[in-house]
Every structure is written in C-alpha cells, then in structure tokens.
Amino acid sequence: MSRYGICFLDSAPSVSEAISKLNGISKSQLIKRGISKKFLNTSVERTQYVEFPLDVLNFGKINPVYHGHPVSIIKETETVLALNKPSQIYCHPLRYEESDNILSYLRAQGRQDILQVNHSNYDRGLLYRLDYETSGLLLMAKDNATWKFVRDNFHSLTKEKSYLAEVRGKLFEQMSLTHRLKPSGERGSFIKEASDGKVANIQVFPIEALESSTIVEVQLKEGLRHQIRAQLSLAGFPIIGDPLYGDSEKDDILRLHCWKYEIDTIGKFQGEYPSWYTP
C-alpha cells in the first residue's frame, strides 16, 4: 500500500484528531486500515511530518483511474443517470486505492456532480447494486433528495426489476419460484436453501430456446444477495458462467444482465441488451 507524508501546521492532542480534522476519517476507521491505537493516541507537534497510507489521506475520495470495459450512458434525466455496467466491474470502491469501478469511471469522465451525492459514503448516489459478475442497467441519483427518498422507500416505490439470463437446459413454460435462502457461512460464501432463510420469489419467462440453453426473463421481487443465481440453480437451470451455483462448464462471462427497472417518482428505464444476446 502506498504511503505519503503530511506536515501538520498546527499541533493536536493526538494523531487521530489531527487527521480527522483534515478529512473526517474517524479513529475506528483508521484502526480498520491497520493504524495502531498507540500511534493514533500520540500527540502531534506543530510542523511535524507524519506518514500515512494513501487510503487514509484520500479517505472518502474516488480514485479517477478507469481502465475497465467500456461503460455507456443509457439515459439521463433531471434526477437520475442510467448506466450500462459491464460484467466483472464493481459498482463502487471500498477505499481510495480501488480503481476500475463505475464511480471511478464517472470521476474519470469529470462527473463530479454525480459524485457529490451521499458524499460521505463510498456508494455515493447508487440506488441499488449489481454483483461484480452481473452486467446491465444501473441507476444513480443526481441529487441528495432523490437518493434519500428512493433509498428510504425502495421496496414500496419499485414496481419492476427485470433481468435477462441464459440458463443451461431447455425451459418451455414460465415458472414461479419460491425458496427460503440464507448465506452458507462457508469460505467463498454462497447462498443456500434453508428452512430458516428469508423468503425469495422470482418469476421466470422463457424468451428463446437455443441448442442446449434458454434465454429467460426473470422478474425479481425481493432483491436478496445472489437471489436469481441461487433460485435458478435450485430449479435445475444454473446460469451459464456461474460455477458457484452449479454451472460445470467454463465460461468467461456470467450470463445475467439487469434489463429493466421501474421506480415510482423517477420513471421506467430499459437497459441495453447484453453482448451475449441479440434478439
């Protein structure tokens, strides 16, 4: 991890207080980043030079480096920016040194206006998240009022969450699937079916039968972690490119794509078709 020095112009009772005045990072957050309590409690003299990891000095900021797959803007309204997220790209970082995510793309494009929303948190104005492996439609609020209202009332406001997937096997009729799901708790954590899990519901509609697979549309209800991936696998139709949930054949891309969202007060949005499917 890169380290940089800073010279404090004023004295302070402790290192943690001095750096907190600089960028708002708390003592507990400093400890999480590997800085010892003993060092943090040390007093700071005027003009003292102290070294910190770059993640600490740039706490809360978004790295401007993006060398990932191309990101496209689908639509922009007064309150929302709709993007197409590539597969194998994170939505947001967890610390400054993480680059090649959607927020880094926006900073590289000079969209500081978008990054000012929910400024104290690394997920900024994202209205929901997509898994690293999942591609597709991603919505971001352009102002704090829209972000807070939608996030606080997300389940009641959201009328449609639609995904496209390519699954192993032939599916000819629609399915309504209900399972109880919970984290496995194992290394490489995945979601499993369990009697004490949360109720999960999806509806699956076949769109096109291919040689040994089927393109389906999935209507998502709850939006639990890995919900679509787990439920399709439990039904005997694992998503292509998803070895975590039962696809034994190697594929470079998880064939799961966020396609449509409809949210009261901000409207209906449809994303682009994924690279692996042309209707």
What ranges do the domains of the chain cover?
Answer: 3-57, 61-152, 157-279
Q: Can you tell me the mean pLDDT for 36-55? A: 88
Asked whether the predicted pLDDT for residue 186 surpasses 80, the reply is no
Sign of CA dihedral 151, 154, 158, 162: positive
How far does the chain reach from its first CA to its final CA, in angstroms? 46
**pLDDT confidence of residue 249:** 80
Examine domains 61-152 and 157-279 and report if their fold is the same. Answer: yes
14 burial via Cβ count (<10 Å: 0-12, 13-18, 19+): middle
**pLDDT confidence of residue 50:** 83
pTM confidence score: 0.89
Buried b (16+ CB within 10 A) or exposed e, 88-109: bbbbbbebbebbbbbbbbbbbe
Highest mean pLDDT among 38-42, 81-85, 182-186: 81-85
Q: Where are the alpha helices (DSSP H) in 153-215?
A: 154-157
CATH code that applies to domain 157-279: 3.30.2350.10
Check whether domain 61-152 has CATH 3.30.2350.10, yes or no = yes
Q: Can you tell me the mean pLDDT for 249-256? A: 88
Asked whether the predicted pLDDT for residue 265 surpasses 90, the reply is yes
